[in-house]
Amino acid sequence: MITRLSYIQNKIVDLETAKKRLKGWRLKQQKIVFTNGCFDILHKGHVTYLAEAAELGNRLIVGLNTDDSIKRQGKGDERPINDNDSRALTLAGLGCVEMVVFFNEDTPIHLIEELLPDVLVKGSDYDPEEQNPDSKKYIVGSDIVRKNGGLVVAIPLVDGYSTTSIIEKLKSDN
């Protein structure tokens, strides 16, 4: 018998397991949606964003930055607040998230190349039309997804919600 916790834990997979599951989903002609991020302190903005991303297909895969990957982004010495396993379990606990796959690189380009999602999603602080890979608004992997016949979508962010603003509020309350 599978417990609810083991069901959630089984959503956290390595790349090879992800590719195997995708084969089955594709045989059923299901549309695969991919997004990525740190998801350090899960908040209303994250949950809204992920639910809206999931609406764009049948299965939502989240590429999750490892702790080392986050540290290289220069977000501060205290980041991430929550470790790999905590962030992955929290994401996997959401009903709209089908699978969580870690990536240790600075970008999820390798995951996108391997998984070839039908829809690539980022927040509206990115621009699906941006072609310059050096631009902060460029969506990594957008060229690959489009060449494969997929869509690249930016979802509006929920104003007033960010991990950085939560951390700043906690610091100011002390």
Give 87-113 pLDDT, tens digit per residue: 999 999 999 999 999 999 999 999 999
- Using DSSP bridges, classify how beta strands 59-65 and 151-155 pair: parallel, antiparallel or unpaired: unpaired
In this prediction the pTM is 0.93
pLDDT at 171: 73
pLDDT at 161: 65
Whole-angstrom Cα distance, residue 102 to residue 105?
A: 9
pLDDT at 159: 78
Structural domains of the chain, with CATH: 4-172 (3.40.50.620)
Residues 6+ apart with CB under 8 A from 31: 56, 57, 58, 59, 118, 119
Residue 37 falls in which region: left (phi positive, over 0), alpha (psi -120 to 50) or beta: left
Q: What percent of the chain has pLDDT over 70?
A: 94
